[in-house]
Amino acid sequence: MQTNVTSRDGSTVIVLQGRFDFNSHREFRDAVERALKEAAPEIKVDLADVDYLDSSALGMLLMLRDKAKGAGKSVVLAAARGAVKQVIEIANFGKLFVLA
């Protein structure tokens, strides 16, 4: 998986590409740390280019949510599509995150 952290429209955006699974944990953790250092009050996770997501990825998103909450930031999951969107919906993440 590839990650990129940018600022857009007053949010810090973590852009993910490829397979989001256990093998991505180090890259994702580094992206989270960079995003938490930014001043923006919102962290947006752009899932538009993620083609696979598993239960360990869901766990990493929960870890991001907890760390962001501790830093006074909110998390938005954006642009999920196809199978990735299905997994997020089945896991009831709409109750835990803002979905955009």
Q: Give pLDDT tens digits for 41-83.
A: 999 999 999 999 999 999 999 999 999 999 999 999 999 999 9
* Alpha-carbon separation of residue 98 from 2, 27, 43, 44 (angstroms): 23, 23, 11, 9
Give the CA radius of gyration of the chain: 12
* pTM over the 0.85 mark: yes
Question: Which CATH code is given to the segment(s) 2-99?
Answer: 3.30.750.24
The domain segmentation of the chain, as residue ranges, is 2-99
The yes-or-no verdict on residue 9 having pLDDT over 90 is: no
The yes-or-no verdict on residue 26 having pLDDT over 90 is: yes
Q: Give pLDDT tens digits for 87-98.
A: 999 999 999 999
